[in-house]
């Protein structure tokens, strides 16, 4: 009778012992153009360590990362409106009711597919790739692709003419609570948070993992979101209420 070598049990990397069941992490527009690109702000990079911490130290059943993904003649570009400049507000027609209009803020051309500015910030991008490699579901939401209407929300365009896959993916994964981070607080973070409430989710905003171009705009947006029923926490307090176990071992490689 010959002896065989002892069997070795192969195990996946050690994940945190506490899974945030029925909770998804939503990363809003953490793109180069909003950090240090065409629409960058010195305030924006401050959120990165907080978002990294949420990715490194927590085990999420589902993560969504939205990106502005504009065609070159997008309605939000000042260049698409004669005699307009960045910072102006223009009137644009509704897609389904041309006689009805809405206001649209216009900006420098930004987040055009194929440009550096449209890409996710490198630290975010690297972490998401690692997580996907360890079987975390990551959904990349490319929003505002219709040149005639903007999309502040990761759920739908501003006129609710077209919806993204985000709500259906959250439903598929049994998500009840969404934890929101990213840029910019008074624009796309605001829009996504409000739509999350409208769709029946418990919405949590990590206030030190989101930023605007000024403290005043950020504070006003947060006050409005609290009025909608969004729960606002700083990361330390949220983590105290939602403790995790061991860090993922592969984080040391980042």
pLDDT in tens, 152-183: 999 999 999 999 999 999 999 999 999 999 99
Low-confidence winner among 10-19, 60-69, 93-102, 239-248 (lowest mean pLDDT): 10-19
**Helix axes of 122-133 and 48-56: crossing angle, nearest 10 degrees:** 10
Q: What is the mean pLDDT of the chain?
A: 90
Mean pLDDT of 86-98: 92
pLDDT at 245 over 60: no
pLDDT at 1 over 90: no
Do strands 177-183 and 137-143 pair parallel, antiparallel, or not at all (unpaired)? unpaired
The pLDDT of residue 242 is: 87
- Integer Cα distance of 52 and 134 in angstroms: 17
Who has greater pLDDT, 139 or 254?
139
pLDDT at 53 over 80: yes
pLDDT at 66 over 60: yes
Question: DSSP letter string over 60-112?
Answer: -SEEEEEEE---TT-TTBGGGSTT--TT-EEEEE-SS-TT-EEEEE-BSS---
Mean pLDDT of 5-20: 44
pLDDT at 250 over 80: no
* pLDDT interval class at 12 (50, 70, 90): very low
Q: Residue 96, exposed/middle/buried by CB under 10 A (0-12, 13-18, 19+)?
A: exposed
Tell me, yes or no, if the pTM score tops 0.85. Answer: yes
Secondary-structure class of domain 23-71+117-245 per CATH: alpha beta
């Amino acid at each position: 009778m010959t002896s065989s070598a002892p069997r070795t049990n192969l195990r996946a990397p050690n994940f945190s012992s506490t899974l945030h069941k029925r909770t998804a992490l939503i990363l809003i527009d953490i793109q180069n153009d909003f950090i240090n690109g065409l629409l960058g702000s010195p305030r924006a990079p401050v959120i990165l360590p907080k978002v990294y911490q949420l990715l490194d130290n927590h085990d999420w059943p589902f993560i969504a990362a939205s990106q502005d993904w504009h065609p070159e003649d997008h309605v939000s570009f000042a260049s698409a409106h004669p005699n307009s400049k960045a910072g102006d507000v223009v009137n644009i027609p509704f897609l389904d009711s041309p006689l009805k209009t809405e206001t649209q803020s216009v900006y420098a051309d930004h987040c055009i597919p194929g440009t550096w500015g449209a890409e996710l910030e490198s630290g975010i991008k690297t972490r998401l790739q690692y997580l996907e490699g360890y079987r975390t579901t990551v959904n990349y939401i490319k929003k505002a692709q219709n040149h005639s209407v903007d999309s502040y929300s990761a759920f739908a365009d501003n006129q609710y003419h077209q919806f993204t896959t985000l709500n259906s993916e959250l439903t598929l994964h049994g998500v009840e609570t969404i934890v929101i981070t990213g840029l910019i607080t008074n624009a796309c973070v605001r829009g996504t948070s409000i739509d999350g409430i409208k769709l029946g989710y418990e919405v949590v905003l990590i206030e030190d993992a989101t930023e605007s171009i000024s403290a005043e705009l950020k504070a006003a947006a947060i006050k409005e979101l609290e009025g909608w029923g969004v729960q606002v926490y700083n990361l330390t307090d949220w983590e105290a209420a939602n403790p995790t176990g061991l860090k993922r071992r592969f984080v040391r490689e980042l």
